[in-house]
Structure 1
Amino acid sequence: MFGRLRAWKRRHSLLVDTLALTPLALLGLLSTRISSTAPEAYGTSRVGTVGLLLLSAMLVVPLIWRRKYPVVAFAVVALVSFVQWVVGITVLPVNAAVLVGMYGVAARRPLKWAIAAAVVTEIGIFLWLLRTADSALDQWPGPTVFIVSIWVSGIYRNMRQRYVESLVERAERAEHERDQQARIATAAERTRIARELHDVVAHNVSVMVVQADGAGYAIDTDPEQARLAVQAVSSTGRQALAEMRRLVGVLRDDRTSGGEYAPQPGLEQLADLIEQVRASGLPVDFTRSGPQHEVPDGEQLVIYRIIQEALTNTLKHGGPSVRASVRVEYGAHDVTLTVSDDGRGASAARADDGHGLIGMRERVGMYGGTVHAAPRPGGGFQVTARLPIGQTT
């Protein structure tokens, strides 16, 4: 509710500033009423009621733009008040517009302009006292204290507003830098993933070439073997095509060095990964469940990397005497990974400020999967990923 009200005030700032001057406009009407009772005493006999209303309008209307043009609004009000003094019209309640204008300058402009506005206001007060008081110097301190208090409140508002703006600016800059770092990390992860998938696809193409060569040699002597080789070429080609489709939009460094293409690690290497982690001093329980079926090479690489990343984070941040468990569950159309530990959980910094999690999400996202990483309610940390199997895009 308050947020909508503030937004409405920003959109209709001119209307709000006009309505805020209603008390000052009433003072203008009061000034006309008071001076009409004794025009000679107030020096208003020569201008009449219409002149007083015009004077009040000239003092009030410029303040409508006091937020956008505070110095100009104050200068106009001060000049009108000076002309009023020259004509011989005494101080009226509507002359409080000078104080409103001075406050606007102090609250919205640098200190030099605030000091200038205060000096002009003090000179105006001194001129009025010269005309109306027996001893202007004796009467001057009282109004000065009142003027200074208004001026100081404007200076305080100015300082507070600048402080808030600086906080907002720093917060926006920090958010921009954080987003930039996240984009850089995302680009780096995509580059690395693209290079790995490139190797997977290149390996599949190499297999297709070998199978096609074998089919060519066996087509006359062993037609059945040639038929199986051609089927292998077809299956491998479809798999390579699916991987290539997922590479679209993923950045890749063209400066990749040449050389022999080798398949990236997959499900068959999980046991070796678990043993390597155990040798590093982290006890790991590893289980598989469900009917194991064929998983494309690219998705095998995703499964391997997620488990590797999660266990690496446990080694880094889990603390002493931590234990981990890895569970791979095969479903009819997906594979679910769960890597959990009983370490320090939420109290530990994880995955290099979130870059590891970004990599997991990028990998799984290319295959339409999901990943969730968070502290466990009973202590420790858990990474859960679901990866659809055999779906092409």
Structure 2
Amino acid sequence: MTEAASGPAARTARAVRSARAVRALPAVTAARRRARRLPPLVAESVLPVLLLLDVVAAYPPHELPAPLALTAALALPLLWRRRAPLAVFGAVAAAALVQWLAGIQLPADAALLVALHTVAAHSSRRVTLAAGAVVEAGVLLACLRWATDGAFLTPFVAVTATVVAAAVLGVNVRTTRAYLAAEQERARRLELEQEHLARLAVAEERTRITREMHDIVTHNLSVMVALTDAALATQHRAPDRTTAAMVQVAETGRQALTDMRRTLGVLRADEPDAERHPLPGIAQLGTLAEQMGAAGLPTSLDVHGDHTHLPATAQLTVYRLVQEALTNALKHTPAGTRATVLIRCTAGTVTVDVTDTGPRPPRTTTAGTATATAGTGNPAGHGITGMRERATAYGGTLQAGPLPGGGWGVRTRLLLGSGGATAA
């Protein structure tokens, strides 16, 4: 080492270069952020290459070997800083200690701050504090050795602030990364939950449409079959009754088509029938009773209380319950059976009672035993299930069974405060 290289002027020039390198750290950090768009190896090579070029340009050829070797020892480990941050920090700290022992000031000291930043970004706070203490010890030793007389405190505070900034920025990177990972996990869970809710909604809508289609098809086909049988029986004896029955068959078929279009209209945005034809409700039960009477099941209807305040979905539920009960009475009772429908409406409840006077024929099971066929349809079919689903949607229960004096009864009590958004 020559006298010129170790003189006060040379030390001052190198201290200025080191100070410039420290002040350039934020710009280097910003460049690193922009460099993330590059391949990892290229991005991580930028700082070591710049430090090596800087030392090559700053020293004359005869003084270059020692600074260049120390700069390489400080800068080149940074190429692996993301894969092994603690090992790289140890290597850079060791190189900085050798540099201090050699008494050579280098701009590559910024590599120690970069290594500290990487440790703080990838390690725990305890490890970060330990690494920061190592760097701070190096700062103290450097200032004790290279600070000019009477100017120890100012460079020590300035460099210490830089060390703290590097550690805080690294901790902020780690915190941000953890926050983003938590947000991504939360978004993934929300996406899975939304997919699950969407599948549930699709299943509920499929169940609703199936229930509606069952009620519409079963009721209208039962009525049409009964009317057709009546028309065939009277075609020679009473042609006028036959004509009236066939007219009723055609009207029932048209009503069935309307109901089907309205039910399936939710699947098409351009389906006009859902808006043109309102949902059936309690007001349409009179027409339903007349239709059942024309099909061979004389039906009386009695409605107590004001039903105009009931929501449309609740009225549709009442209508479908009565429709299904009467349809099953028509299907499973002999000629001459009469049915009675009693509706009681209050502010918070609706009670539906459907009774008939006809006995049910026995149903033979696979074991050969005879059991009664329920008035709400075959228990193994969709009728009883659909009625119970409709009642459950409004917090109600369904009771169906033989009456003490003969006949069959279906009783349902709906709680209007229970929602029933899916009851339709």
Q: TM-score range by the shorter chain?
A: 0.3 to 0.5
Alignment TM-score, normalising by the size of structure 2:
0.43
Alignment TM-score, normalising by the size of structure 1:
0.46
